[in-house]
DNA sequence: TTGTAGGCGTTATCAT
DNA sequence: ATGATAACGCCTACAA
């Protein structure tokens, strides 16, 4: 009767103590029941669940992870959430994590290395059980540090990954080789590689191109263009140096197709084009774009497996490379008609143009 | 000498107690110093920072958020991480959050409503200070529940949003109207709307089309196609019912352009095409795609502001609609040449075809 | 300036 | 089957 406050001054959300009180049991019993553990009478279990329901109880995972020492969380760091190659990897991560009962949270540091590092700090602070970094931008030292703290796998090609982390990538040299071989098989000889990236990945693809061309005794040309510049691309294509180009990604390939069209260069008749990553863009373009596909789903899944292996004690670093697949579409289809180049008809010279690595 | 273990059996990571011990101060002092609070001597501060550094100390944010009751985290839920419209909103969220010193974490529930709900549970369990849901799939009841627990804003159009949450969307009717008005201005009259979605958003765009057409006294047609089916689209276009189509997104617009090309329908001469969302795809297509742009950055930023307002005590729901902008590109450019339709030359009849809402 | 003593919500250990 | 009780790592009065 003289009770001051029947309902205790609820600070915020209902806690397990509130639930226990409402169900008139101890918090230990409530904890067990709520987790579905055995050793709780049906009657108690019912009352506890009822109380939890009516109070809108939600477990506080901060408290839980504090006492357990694990969070059940896998953290994923991206540097380009708008890149469909990266998000496809995330899909694989999520699929595998779901099957293993882990939750996936993502963080995105798109603008700078320091931002990426800050996202990593957040994840580590959150005590994620493992970290998957879909980016090649994170410095060696940062990776080494975090790798010593928690299981970490980088899904990207790294020049010199620290021992403390695992890496998963696709075989970029093989991917580029496959592309070039298809171009050679359809009679192309003046083959170039154009990229807007200075990454290890891009460099590896350039090497793959060289390997394939060297094998048949001709030289290719490689061109590194500034990011986000279309003028250089136009100038390059206007020289009509090649009859086929491999690009470092589908977006750049789309730019090539558009610029070529503006210049009156017909794709694929005058110029075959092959992109990389086989994003949805490739199938949407006109002509549809041939592209080197990476098994992103598999790579994502494997990353989660690698995390689990580390948790189970593996200490040797994993270095895994998945084989890519060339998807041939219209942009590199065999040409039946003669090239309509405005250049002199040196259509298929056994030697090639260009320079500059 | 006879000490059993000089270094205490370190369970895992260094804690603030370890740091304090190494710096020979109390843990409270270490806490203050580490947070950069005043009232710590320079000498102590130095020793503490040094100790933290050498021990590789990282604050445990689970413990921190447990005691503080807030996490400093903003949670973002997406149902389509591969959708560049959604990720553009995320970019806005991140920009605003960064300026306000909050961290953003994302979760992605791409496959089902239950998965989305599970991601929401995770976020609430993590005690995020606010939740931004970039999806229209979450059921009313779920939104209401979570909205009562933490500040929540949905960035999407909802038919009947619960009072407990804020909503931010763009004015889809106005967007569709703007598109139709441009089509009308360039002489199109048989204008259709084609969508693969049954969402409130899609319906609103359909209404916008009707409004604009009604104003000039003609009727349009609306067609809801099954998701992921191209056959129906082909059949629809093959009927050559219209000389202009508005699509619910750029991806569908890309499909239209490709199918039209297959059917020998020239874009924009025979058929003007306008997409929605103005994703990177729009500029990459050939012809480049006109598209209705939404101010995604702004919408994302506004969502974070709304969260802050709620935290500062606002209780009335926010319902905000941002004006979209039509970006005109080649696919709806005015045609100088006569249409090359194979149909009888009823090029610009004042009445229109089609049916079926 | 520094230290002591709770307590945040949860789980786990050990009794009962 | 159930309940006390002690951590987990951190922050915050309050005391010294």
**For helices A296-311 and A84-99, what crossing angle results, to 10°?**
50
Beta bridge partners, A276, equal: A292
Summarize pLDDT for A161-213 with one digit per residue, the tens: 999 999 999 999 999 999 999 999 999 999 999 999 999 999 999 999 999 99
Distance measured from the CA of protein residue B123 to the C1' of nucleotide C11, in angstroms: 21
What pLDDT does residue B347 have?
Answer: 37
Structural tokens at position A105: 């949270």
pLDDT band at B12 (very low <50, low <70, confident <90, very high): low
- Cβ of A66 within 8 Å of Cβ of B71? The answer is no
CB-strand contact A64/C, under 7 Å: yes
What pLDDT does residue B3 have?
Answer: 33
Chain A's closest residue to B11, CA to CA, is A69
Q: How far is A176 from chain B (nearest CA, A)?
A: 23
Residues of B in contact with A84 (CB under 8 A): 82
Residue A144 touches partner B, C-beta closer than 8 Å: no
What pLDDT does residue A352 have?
Answer: 36
C-alpha span between A233 and A342 (Å, rounded): 19
Beta bridge partners, B223, equal: B194
Find tokens 């709620």 and name the residue. B310
C-alpha span between A309 and A301 (Å, rounded): 13
Q: State yes or no: pLDDT of B153 exceeds 60.
A: yes
What pLDDT does residue B111 have?
Answer: 74
B29-48 residues near strand C (Cβ < 7 Å): 29, 32, 38-41, 43-44
What pLDDT does residue A356 have?
Answer: 34
What pLDDT does residue B230 have?
Answer: 66
B247 within 8 A of B194, measured Cβ to Cβ: yes
What is the mean predicted confidence (pLDDT) over B157-186? 97
Residues of B in contact with A288 (CB under 8 A): 258
A133 within 8 A of A152, measured Cβ to Cβ: yes
C-alpha span between A61 and B344 (Å, rounded): 68
Residues of A in contact with B128 (CB under 8 A): none
Q: Which of residues 96-135 of A touch B (CB under 8 A)?
A: 98, 103-108, 110, 115, 118-119, 121-122, 124-127
Q: Say which DSSP state B77 is in.
A: E
Which of A66, A122, A281 lies closest to B103 in CB terms? A122
Q: Which of residues 295-354 of A touch B (CB under 8 A)?
A: none
Chain B's closest residue to A285, CA to CA, is B285
Q: Which residue is nearest to the C1' sugar atom of C11, using CA?
A: A67
What pLDDT does residue A220 have?
Answer: 87
Structural tokens at position B252: 């569908």
C-alpha distance from residue B132 to each of A65, B86, B225, B301 (Å): 24, 12, 30, 11
Quote the percentage of chain B above a pLDDT of 70. 90
pTM of the predicted model, to two decimals? 0.88
Which runs of E-coded beta strand occur in chain B?
73-78, 103-108, 130-134, 152-155, 166-170, 191-195, 221-224, 244-247, 272-276, 290-293, 319-322, 325-327
Which of B107, B125, B280 lies closest to A59 in CB terms? B125
What pLDDT does residue B336 have?
Answer: 64
Length of chain B: 357
Structural tokens at position A329: 């579409």
Structural tokens at position A310: 């580390």
Residue B59 touches partner A, C-beta closer than 8 Å: yes
φ, ψ dihedrals at B27, nearest 5°: -70, -30
Which of B63, B82, B94 lies closest to A66 in CB terms? B63
The H or E element spanning position A131 is strand A130-134
C-alpha span between A220 and A84 (Å, rounded): 29
Q: How far is A63 from chain B (nearest CA, A)?
A: 6
Q: Return per-residue pLDDT of chain A as tens, 357 residues.
A: 333 333 333 346 899 999 999 999 999 999 999 999 998 999 999 999 999 999 999 999 999 999 998 999 999 999 999 999 999 999 999 999 999 999 999 999 877 899 999 999 999 989 999 999 999 999 999 999 999 999 999 999 999 999 999 999 999 999 999 999 999 999 999 999 999 999 999 999 999 999 999 999 999 899 999 887 768 999 999 999 999 999 999 999 999 999 999 999 999 999 999 999 999 999 999 899 999 999 999 999 999 999 999 998 899 999 999 999 999 999 999 976 544 443 333 333 333 333 333
A202 within 8 A of A193, measured Cβ to Cβ: no
- Cβ of A87 within 8 Å of Cβ of B69? The answer is no
Q: How far is A327 from chain B (nearest CA, A)?
A: 18
Taking the C1' atom of every nucleotide in all shown strands and the CA of B27, the nearest one is C3
Among B142, B317, B162, smallest CA distance to A56 is for: B142
What pLDDT does residue B350 have?
Answer: 37
Q: What is the DSSP string of B204-246?
A: HHHHHHHHHHHHTT---EEEEPPTT-SHHHHHHHHTT--SEEE
- Cβ of B254 within 8 Å of Cβ of A284? The answer is yes
CB-strand contact B66/C, under 7 Å: yes
C-alpha span between B198 and A203 (Å, rounded): 45
Q: State yes or no: pLDDT of B9 exceeds 90.
A: no
Q: How far is A94 from chain B (nearest CA, A)?
A: 9
C-alpha distance from residue A346 to each of A183, A188, A244, B50, B140 (Å): 17, 12, 14, 69, 67
The H or E element spanning position A257 is helix A250-262
Distance measured from the CA of protein residue B40 to the C1' of nucleotide C2, in angstroms: 8
Instruction: Give the residue from A77, A87, A148, A300 with the most B CB atoms within 10 Å of its CB, the best one to mutate.
Output: A87
The H or E element spanning position A292 is strand A290-293
Q: Which residues touch strand D (CB under 7 A)?
A: A 24-29, 32, 38-41, 43-44, 63, 66-67, 69; B 11-13, 15-17, 27-28, 31-32, 34-35, 57, 59-60, 63-64, 66-68
Residue B198 touches partner A, C-beta closer than 8 Å: no
Q: What is the DSSP string of A69-93?
A: S---EEEEEES-TT-HHHHHHHHHH
A290-293 and A325-327 strand pairing: antiparallel
Among B131, B97, B312, B300, smallest CA distance to A58 is for: B131
Output the average pLDDT for chain B.
89
Output the average pLDDT for chain A.
89
Return the exposure string of A168-184: e unless at least 16 CB atoms fall within 10 Å of the residue's CB, then b. Answer: bbbbbbbbbbbbbebbb
């Amino acid at each position: 009767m003289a009770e001051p406050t029947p309902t205790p001054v609820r600070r915020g959300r209902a806690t397990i103590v509130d639930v226990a009180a409402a169900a008139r049991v101890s918090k230990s019993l409530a904890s067990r029941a709520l987790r579905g553990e055995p050793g709780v009478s049906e009657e108690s279990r019912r009352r506890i669940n009822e109380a939890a329901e009516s109070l809108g109880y939600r477990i506080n995972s901060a408290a839980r992870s504090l006492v357990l020492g694990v969070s059940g969380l896998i953290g994923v760091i991206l540097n380009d959430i708008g890149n469909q190659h990266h998000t496809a990897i995330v899909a694989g991560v999520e699929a595998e994590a779901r099957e293993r009962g882990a939750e996936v949270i993502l963080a995105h540091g798109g603008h700078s290395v320091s931002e990426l590092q800050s996202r990593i700090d957040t994840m580590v602070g959150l005590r994620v059980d493992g970290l998957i970094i879909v980016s090649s931008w994170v410095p060696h030292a940062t990776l080494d540090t975090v790798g010593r703290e928690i299981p970490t796998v980088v899904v990207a090609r790294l020049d010199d990954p620290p021992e403390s982390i695992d890496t998963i990538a696709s075989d970029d040299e093989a991917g580029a080789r496959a592309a070039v071989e298809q171009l050679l098989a359809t009679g192309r000889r003046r083959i170039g590689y154009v990229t807007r990236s200075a990454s290890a990945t891009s460099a590896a693809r350039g090497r793959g191109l060289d390997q394939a061309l060297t094998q048949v005794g001709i030289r290719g040309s490689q061109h590194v263009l500034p990011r986000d510049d279309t003028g250089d691309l136009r100038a390059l294509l206007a020289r009509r140096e090649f009859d086929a180009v491999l690009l470092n990604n589908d977006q750049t390939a789309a730019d090539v197709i558009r610029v070529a069209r503006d210049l009156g260069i017909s794709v694929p008749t005058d110029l075959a084009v092959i992109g990389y990553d086989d994003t949805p863009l490739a199938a949407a373009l006109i002509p549809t774009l041939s592209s080197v596909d990476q098994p992103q789903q598999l790579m994502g899944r494997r990353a989660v497996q690698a995390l689990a292996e580390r948790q189970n004690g593996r200490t040797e670093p994993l270095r895994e490379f998945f084989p890519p697949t060339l998807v041939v579409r219209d942009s590199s289809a065999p040409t039946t008609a003669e090239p309509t180049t405005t250049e002199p008809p040196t259509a298929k010279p056994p030697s090639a143009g260009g320079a500059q690595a």
